[in-house]
Amino acid sequence: MGRALLVVTLFTSPVAAQHTGGSFGSSSWGSTSSSSSSSSSYGGSSSWSSSSSSSSSSGSSWSSSSSSPSSSSGYSGASLFPDVDFEISAADKFLFLFVVIVVLFFVVVGKERGWWPFSSDGSFSPRAYDEPSRALATHGALTARRSSGGDPPRATPPSPAGHAAFGDVLVMQVSVGMAASVRRRIQHALTTMAQSASFDGAEGRARILREVLTLLDEDGAARVYAGVGIEGHHAPMLAQRSFTRLVADLRSRYRHELFRNDDGVRSERGAPVLRARADEGEGLVVVSLVIAVEGVFAPAPRYDTAVAALRGLPPSSIVALEVIWSPAAEDDRMSSLELETLYPELRRASEGVGRVRCTCGTAYAAELPRCPACGRPKEASAPS
């Protein structure tokens, strides 16, 4: 009896994360200064590196190249006013320093939160004043609008698709679960891309995007799960945060990243010792694309229409692209039962996947021909 309970527990216990995965991508998020670069690590072995003062081929206005003017003019008060002896007291120096610190603080915070009303070339941009409300909307906060009648606070949404301000960026995620019949072929193709892909700016991102979409559409019948998520249009800084968050979330769904290509910087690691289990079957593979697109772009939240819209994108509009897949090792199998636990945002696009329950009480993946606990054929099981 105890052994039977152990078997049932093994087959029904949820998985916290898949064992292996891989990813590759490229971006042209601009730096905040033309004379320095910074990077922020996320999720795994990769890090985003900000670009230099030269703009990327994507043509987007990410970088605010505020090269500071020289302060070495060195004029002296005596040369302009020979009869006046300038003397600054300690109190005046302290007050001047305090004012400078306050101004710098608001400049830095304003740029960080999108309040700064000037673009990279110094021109005034009223759109920047809209960014605090977008930041609040992005994080699910509410903008309180209280009138004399005491109206309740209302949410301030981001710019709707199709009504983006100039320079705004849309971030979206497209994920598919592919059947066991094409799993090995897709894993091999994505591994090859991660090992050899060389991203040549926006053109390279567009080429990789087309190759991955073609790979996933070669056998439409093998697409058993699909999902599209659209974040809406945001200012560049907020869009980058959304993009980074989505990528980090997808890469956190596996424990070991076997292949990584970050804008041409490649890394590999050996797979852990794994053994395929009977209750996982031949296994499925999930492939996700996270894309940041600059300009007016309004795809429908359906897989077919979203993919068609992505195929028609001009290369210069693709600011960032990341491709993540899991599992990446041959003996690391993922059943549809496990997939629905790890990727709850995906929806079934085909019959014969998901959870079924045998008459013996065991829940198992619907693609298996028989119950892995008692051996009864699937015909004796019911959808669960």
Crossing angle of helices 90-113 and 131-138, rounded to 10°: 60
Strand partners, 267: 260
List the one residue out of 152, 121, 140 whose CA is nearest residue 34: 121
What is the end-to-end Cα distance of the chain in Å, rounded?
Answer: 24
Q: CA 232 to CA 319: how far, in whole Å?
A: 15
Place of tokens 């994507």: 58
Which tens digit of pLDDT belongs to each residue from 165-181? 557 999 999 999 999 99
* Strand extents, DSSP E, the chain: 18-27, 39-41, 47-49, 169-178, 223-234, 254-262, 265-268, 285-294, 318-326, 347-348, 355-357, 363-365, 382-383
pLDDT at residue number 112: 67
pLDDT at residue number 156: 36
pLDDT at 30 over 80: no
List the one residue out of 267, 266, 250 whose CA is nearest residue 324: 250
Q: Alpha helices, DSSP H only, in 84-200?
A: 90-113, 131-138, 180-196
Beta 47-49 vs 265-268: how paired, if at all?
Answer: unpaired
- Confidence tier at 346 by pLDDT (50, 70, 90): very high
- Does residue 12 contact residue 6 with C-beta atoms inside 8 Å? no
- Average pLDDT of 219-245? 94
Please report, for the chain, the start and end positions of each structural domain, with discontinuous segments joined by +. Answer: 11-30+160-348, 354-383
Which tens digit of pLDDT belongs to each residue from 47-98? 333 333 333 333 333 333 333 333 333 333 333 334 444 456 677 777 888 8
Strand partners, 159: 233
pLDDT at 223 over 90: yes
Which tens digit of pLDDT belongs to each residue from 297-313? 888 889 999 999 999 99
pLDDT at residue number 378: 85
Which tens digit of pLDDT belongs to each residue from 115-164? 555 555 444 444 433 443 333 333 333 233 333 344 443 333 444 444 45
Tell me the percentage of the chain whose pLDDT exceeds 70.
Answer: 65
Q: CA 380 to CA 373: how far, in whole Å?
A: 13
Q: CA 138 to CA 158: how far, in whole Å?
A: 7
Question: What rounded mean pLDDT belongs to the chain?
Answer: 74
pLDDT at residue number 73: 37
Give the residue with greater pLDDT, 132 vs 110: 110
Q: What single-letter amino acid sits at 20?
A: T
Q: Per the structure block, which two tokens stand in for 89?
A: 């007291």
Q: CA 252 to CA 257: how far, in whole Å?
A: 10
Crossing angle of helices 201-217 and 303-311, rounded to 10°: 140
Phi, psi of 39 (to 5 degrees): -140, 150
